[in-house]
Amino acid sequence: MKMIQVQDLWWKYEAGQQYALKGINTEIDKGEFVAIVGPNDHGKSTLCMCMNGLIPHAFRGEIKGNLEVAGIDTIHSDIPTISTKVGTVLQNPESQFVQMTVVDNIVFGPENLGISPEEIKRRVGSLTKLTRTEGLLERTPDELSGGQKQRVAIASALAMTPEILILDEPTSELDPVGKTEVFSLLGRLKREANLTVVLVSHLMEEIVKYADRVMLLYEGKIELDAPPAEFFSNGDYLADKGVELPQVTEAGYLFDRSKRLLNAYPLTLESAYNAFRNVLTEGR
């Protein structure tokens, strides 16, 4: 089942000189985990804002094409309707904390949708378990770490029971511990909830662990869209577009460039260990 369908999508900000998105075409299946990578200001966040309806409803500009998310035409629908299907997690954990306590922040969305208190309570119970925020409910933002705040932001987005979760660089302002916390939660979401996830990130090491597909957005166009192994096999091309490879992939790439001994470039430390061990012990 197609959860996101984008057809020839163009978008230009009112103050922009040129289109930020230029003829985007893609489809994302239910339960798929798609990572969007690319240099800054090349349209990643803009595409996310199209998917959650902020574009064109909260930004002025010119839009062309079609975009359907969970069966909703986001261009002609309103944000509250879209928000029942799409949860959004932004870069800055502080700014997403619009209420004074963790529990108030989690229930903010469902309250706005007029969900009954009993149902909200049920959601709080299950979500805090999933995001491991049970013990934090009465805490204020200054009593939380960055990783905890972002987990609360994810719980707040999930409290709307969305079918799609969009995360726009959710770890860019976190320390390594916070990053690990958020990605391990994303891993848990992938395993336990049949959620469609769109993640914008520069952390290639983490992307290869969770993503089913990786998409390169460059100058407003999708330049490459493939499963991680295939995507990162284009080392020179990606380097040319300003995208870093996972370190182990880069090591494999440099190692194999002349000798052609590896069957595939490793994506994780474990696969790199196995690949290099095979070459060293067996010659392949």
Q: How far apart are the first and last CA of the chain?
A: 40
Taking the complex as a whole, the smallest distance from the CB of residue 225 to another protein amounts, in Å, to 25
CA-angle at 176, arms to 171 and 181, nearest 5°: 65
Output the six-digit token pair for 18.
């040129």
Q: Nearer to another protein by C-beta: 95 or 274?
A: 95
Q: Nearer to another protein by C-beta: 18 or 116?
A: 116
Q: Nearer to another protein by C-beta: 141 or 266?
A: 141
Output the six-digit token pair for 134.
């049970």
Taking the complex as a whole, the smallest distance from the CB of residue 207 to another protein amounts, in Å, to 23
- Judge contact between 5 and 67, C-beta under 8 A: yes
Taking the complex as a whole, the smallest distance from the CB of residue 193 to another protein amounts, in Å, to 19
Q: Nearer to another protein by C-beta: 7 or 140?
A: 140
Q: Nearer to another protein by C-beta: 109 or 147?
A: 109
CA-angle at 125, arms to 122 and 131, nearest 5°: 135
Taking the complex as a whole, the smallest distance from the CB of residue 79 to another protein amounts, in Å, to 5
Pairing of strands 86-89, 164-168: parallel
- Judge contact between 105 and 99, C-beta under 8 A: yes
Residue recorded with tokens 């440099």: 254
The 8-class DSSP code of residue 217 comes to E
Taking the complex as a whole, the smallest distance from the CB of residue 210 to another protein amounts, in Å, to 22
Interface positions with another protein (CB under 8 A): 49, 52-54, 57-58, 79-80, 83-84, 86-88, 90-92, 94-101, 103-104, 107-117, 120-121, 124, 138, 140-143, 156-157, 160
The full DSSP string for 30-41 is TT-EEEEE-STT
Taking the complex as a whole, the smallest distance from the CB of residue 46 to another protein amounts, in Å, to 12
Taking the complex as a whole, the smallest distance from the CB of residue 121 to another protein amounts, in Å, to 7
Q: Nearer to another protein by C-beta: 109 or 178?
A: 109
State how far Cα 101 lies from the chain centre. 25
Q: Nearer to another protein by C-beta: 145 or 278?
A: 145
